Structure 1
Amino acid sequence: MLLPMSTAIAQRISLENHLSLETLRSGAGGEHHFNGMCQAACIASLLCEAGYGTAREGLFGEAERVLLDCRRAGIETENWRFDGKSYRILAEVLTLHDKQLSITPVRELIRANERLKTS
């Protein structure tokens, strides 16, 4: 619980996140892919707050805005898609989250997930 997760598990999570991002960029994504991106962004933000990784100022606010825009469009049109700007912002979040997964103790990941569930 005091060590980071295994490299294999961290790589699997990273791959799932990046595949969701690519799928949404291509326009072939669905709500499931979108929800995965929201979870990754929220966990990354919570881990930054806990001291695991640093993000540039405003990154998570930008990520929240593009996620809300995608959600709105997805609900209205059933087209779950990220444009180029949204893609770049969320790719930055995922790059940070990949680093977090390699250094964050498992207990902190569990705490972040619990916080996400209760918020």
Structure 2
Amino acid sequence: MSRKNRVSKTTQSARREEALLRLPMPRPEVDELVLMYRAALEAVKRGYTDAPLTRRLYTAVLLTRFLTDSGHGLLDLCALKDAYKQLTTIYEHGDETGVWDYPPETIALLTQVLNEHDRQLRETPLHFLLQASDRLDKIIERSYSREISFSN
């Protein structure tokens, strides 16, 4: 194969990958994520609450916020900040006491956030979803490194 053909195939591959990043996430993957978040919310609605469910809902709120920051949100930023504050209060109280109470107004707000997150997952180009996910990964990484440094 000549050098020209290799460069051409590499360029075509790069263009194809770039084009794919402009498309939304594939539907089966979106459905899987949506189900995971909806199951967490449904558990909370039924009173089955704990740290892992709260962290899962935190993830949805943060990703929704990051996507909104990048211009792909329809929900008011104040609602996202409020959801974050309410989850922080619930998490801190639950971590301290073992009681994970979700007031009805928090559940209503989280329902709005998850509706927006579902829409974002279905419509936002994959490139922005990956950026939001990377941003979340960095936050998680920093929180783990703080835990490690405090325990040493």
Q: TM-score, normalised by structure 2?
A: 0.73
In the TM superposition, what whole-angstrom CA distance separates every residue of 1:53-102 from its partner, at most 9, and x where no partner exists? 22125101210121011102211222223120000111110000000001
Distance 1:88 1:46 in 2: 21
Q: Does the CA contact (< 8 Å) of 2:30 and 2:122 recur in 1?
A: yes
Q: Which runs of 5+ in 2 are unaligned?
A: 1-20, 140-152
Identity of aligned residues (%): 25
Query: Considering only CA atoms, is the larger Rg found in Structure 1 or Structure 2?
Result: 2
Correspondence list, 1:41-56, <5 A: 41-56=61-76
RMSD between aligned residues: 1.3
User: Could you tell me whether the CA contact under 8 Å between 1:25 and 1:81 is conserved in 2?
Assistant: no
- Structure having the higher helix fraction is 2
Q: Which runs of 4+ in 1 moved over 4 A?
A: none
Say which structure, 1 or 2, has more relative contact order (CA 8 Å, 6+ apart): 1
Aligned equivalents of 1:57, 1:93: Cα separation in 2: 10
**Matched positions, count:** 119
**Partner residue in 1 for 2:103:** 83
Kindly provide the CA deviation profile for residues 26-75 of structure 1, in whole angstroms up to 9, marking residues without a partner as x. Answer: 22122111111001100000001111122125101210121011102211
> How far does the alpha carbon of each residue in 1:1-42 deviate from its partner, in whole angstroms, 9 at most, with x for none?
221111121111111101101212322122111111001100
Q: Give unpaired runs (5+ residues) of structure 1.
A: none
